[in-house]
Amino acid sequence: MSIQGLDMKFKDYDALLNECVNQKSLRGGQRVQAHMIKTHYHPPVYLRTRLIVLYLKCEVLSDARMVFDEMRERNVVSWTAMISGYTKSGFYSEALSLFVQMLRSGTPGVTGTYPNEFTFATVLTSCTGAHVFEYGRQIHSLIVKSPFELHIYVGSSLLDLYAKAGNIHQARIIFDGLPERDVVSCTAMISGYAQLGFDNEALELFCTLQREGMASNYVTYASIVTAISGLAAFEYGKQVHGHVLRSELSFFIVLQNSLIDMYSKCGNLTYGRRVFEKMPERTVISWNAMLAGYSKHGIGKTVVDLYNRMREENKIKPDSATLLTVLSGCSHGAMENIGLKIFDETMAEKNGVDLSVEHYGCVVDLLGRAGQLERALRFIKEMPFEPNAAIWGSLLGACRVHKNVEVGKIAGDRLLEIEPENAGNYVILCNLYASEGKWDEVRKMRELMKEKTVLKEPGKSWIEFGRTVHTFYASDRLHPRKEEIFSKVRELSDRIKAAGYSPDLSSVLYDVDEEQKEKLLLGHSEKLALAFGMMNVSEAKPIRIMKNLRICVDCHNFAKFVSKVYGREVFIRDKSRFHHIVNGMCLCGDYW
DNA sequence: ATAGGGTTAG
Which tens digits make up the pLDDT trace of A509-555?
666 778 888 888 888 899 999 999 999 998 888 999 999 888 888 89
Dihedral sign (CA A562, A563, A568, A573): positive
* Shortest-distance nucleotide from A256 CA to C1': B7
Contact call for residues A31 and A8 (beta carbons, < 8 A): no
Contact call for residues A264 and A292 (beta carbons, < 8 A): yes
pLDDT at position A1 is 46
**Closest alpha carbon to C1' of B4, residue:** A153
Domain boundaries, given as residue ranges, for chain A: 461-586
Residue A54, SS3 per DSSP: helix
Q: Please give the average per-residue pLDDT across A342-369, as a whole number.
A: 90
Residues 429-488 in A having a C-beta less than 7 A from any atom of strand B are none
Question: pLDDT category, A186, cuts 50, 70, 90?
Answer: very high
Q: How far apart are CA A115 and CA A98, in angstroms?
A: 12
Closest to A181 measured CA to CA, from A158, A151, A207: A151
- Strand B closer than 7 Å to the CB of A331? no
- Strand B closer than 7 Å to the CB of A563? no
Element (H, E) at A478: none
- Strand B closer than 7 Å to the CB of A222? yes
Question: pLDDT category, A8, cuts 50, 70, 90?
Answer: low
Question: Å between A281 CA and B6 C1'?
Answer: 18
Question: pLDDT category, A452, cuts 50, 70, 90?
Answer: confident
- Structure-derived torsion over alpha carbons of residues A170, A208, A201, A467, reported in degrees to the nearest 10: 180
* Shortest-distance nucleotide from A79 CA to C1': B2
- Strand B closer than 7 Å to the CB of A77? yes
Q: Which residues pair with A580 in a beta bridge?
A: A571
The yes-or-no verdict on residue A435 having pLDDT over 80 is: no
Cα A374 to chain centroid, rounded: 33
pLDDT at position A434 is 74
Q: How far apart are CA A342 and CA A352, in angstroms?
A: 12
Question: pLDDT category, A501, cuts 50, 70, 90?
Answer: very high
* Shortest-distance nucleotide from A188 CA to C1': B5
Question: pLDDT category, A455, cuts 50, 70, 90?
Answer: low
Characterize the bridge pairing of strands A570-573 and A543-547. parallel
Percentage above 90 pLDDT, chain A = 71
Q: How far is CA A514 from CA A438, A450, A493, in A?
A: 20, 19, 16
Covered bases, chain B (protein CB within 7 Å): 1-10
Question: pLDDT category, A177, cuts 50, 70, 90?
Answer: very high
Q: How far apart are CA A90 and CA A342, in angstroms?
A: 32
Percentage above 70 pLDDT, chain A = 96
- Strand B closer than 7 Å to the CB of A282? no
Q: Which residues pair with A545 in a beta bridge?
A: A572
Contact call for residues A126 and A119 (beta carbons, < 8 A): no
Q: Give the model confidence (pLDDT) of A40-74 as tens digits.
A: 999 999 999 999 999 999 999 999 999 999 999 99
Q: How far apart are CA A368 and CA A378, in angstroms?
A: 12
Mean pLDDT of chain A: 91
The yes-or-no verdict on residue A215 having pLDDT over 80 is: yes
Q: Give the model confidence (pLDDT) of A220-274 as tens digits.
A: 999 999 999 999 999 999 999 999 999 999 999 999 999 999 999 999 999 999 9
Alpha helices in A212-356 (DSSP H): 218-231, 234-246, 253-265, 269-278, 284-296, 300-313, 320-332, 336-348
Contact call for residues A324 and A362 (beta carbons, < 8 A): yes
pLDDT at position A91 is 96
Region class of A586: left (phi > 0), else alpha (psi between -120 and 50), else beta: beta
Most confident of A104-113, A221-230, A432-441, A461-470: A221-230
Contact call for residues A251 and A278 (beta carbons, < 8 A): no
**Closest alpha carbon to C1' of B1, residue:** A50
pLDDT at position A420 is 83
Q: Give the model confidence (pLDDT) of A315-336 as tens digits.
A: 999 999 999 999 999 999 989 9
Closest to A533 measured CA to CA, from A461, A478, A476: A461
* Shortest-distance nucleotide from A148 CA to C1': B3
* Shortest-distance nucleotide from A53 CA to C1': B1
Q: Please give the average per-residue pLDDT across A484-491, as a whole number.
A: 89
The yes-or-no verdict on residue A5 having pLDDT over 80 is: no
**Closest alpha carbon to C1' of B9, residue:** A321
- Strand B closer than 7 Å to the CB of A122? yes
Q: Give the model confidence (pLDDT) of A559-588 as tens digits.
A: 999 999 999 999 999 988 899 999 999 988
The yes-or-no verdict on residue A108 having pLDDT over 60 is: no
Q: How far apart are CA A556 and CA A239, in angstroms?
A: 31
For residue A477, give the amino acid letter. Answer: R
Alpha helices in A419-481 (DSSP H): 423-435, 439-452
